[in-house]
Chain A
Amino acid sequence: QKEVEQNSGPLSVPEGAIASLNCTYSDRGSQSFFWYRQYSGKSPELIMFIYSNGDKEDGRFTAQLNKASQYVSLLIRDSQPSDSATYLCAVRSGGSYIPTFGRGTSLIVHP
């Protein structure tokens, strides 16, 4: 069974700090990796995706992928209180169109 694991948190960081969110997955055949942000009472929204090993940067967000170690992480630089949300990691295996979601990490950015 394909599993995607995340620490539920909450992860609490001060405003302006770097928040580091981690995700591990069990299926070595995984090809696509996504980070979604979900505010309380709202739907998940995609913020980053990464397919290749290494780093991918988009504004204050950086996704890091290490397929050999089967983990993907999300770094949020200069964290803002508006970044406070649950961050969901999703993984899709090669040949499958179905993303499997982790249960999410709750991030709290305090002023």
Chain B
Amino acid sequence: DARVTQTPRDKVTEMGQEVTMRCQPILGHNTVFWYRQTMMQGLELLAYFRNRAPLDDSGMPKDRFSAEMPDATLATLKIQPSEPRDSAVYFCASGYGGETEAFFGQGTRLTVV
């Protein structure tokens, strides 16, 4: 059963702490997306990787967010320092090439207090 796996599923942290979210894309997929979902903004693209190379991170606050893909089976999204406004659900999605749909992971619900 191929699926995108995200960890952790839930994270509560204090303001100022570092948060790391991990994503394992579906085996064989070469595109990875990080999205953030809030009630106010809906789904916002934070970062996009193709063949592990970051191609678009224009939606990501550069001063505190960073996204990497150290190998084909792992993508990470870090927030340092975290702020209450970062509270949201963060989704990772993967796909193959440019013509197929994106498959979403279960998401990480982040709460910064």
Spell out A's residues near B (CB within 8 Å). Answer: 32, 34, 36, 42-46, 49, 88, 96-104
Q: Is the beta-carbon distance between B48 and A44 smaller than 8 angstroms?
A: no
Of B31, B55, B101, the contact of A34 (CB 8 Å cutoff): B101
Q: Is the beta-carbon distance between A44 and B104 smaller than 8 angstroms?
A: yes
- Which residues in window 8-25 of B have CB below 8 A to A? none
Report B-chain residues with C-beta under 8 Å of the C-beta of A100: 45
Contact flag A98-B42 (CB < 8 Å), given A43-B106, A43-B107: no
Q: Is the beta-carbon distance between A43 and B105 smaller than 8 angstroms?
A: yes
Residue of A nearest to B41 (CB): A103
Q: Is the beta-carbon distance between A104 and B42 smaller than 8 angstroms?
A: yes
Q: How far is the CA of A88 from the CA of B62 in the complex (A)?
A: 27
Report B-chain residues with C-beta under 8 Å of the C-beta of A101: 35, 42-43
Contact flag A46-B103 (CB < 8 Å), given A97-B31, A102-B42, A104-B42: yes
Q: How far is the CA of A101 from the CA of B104 in the complex (A)?
A: 13
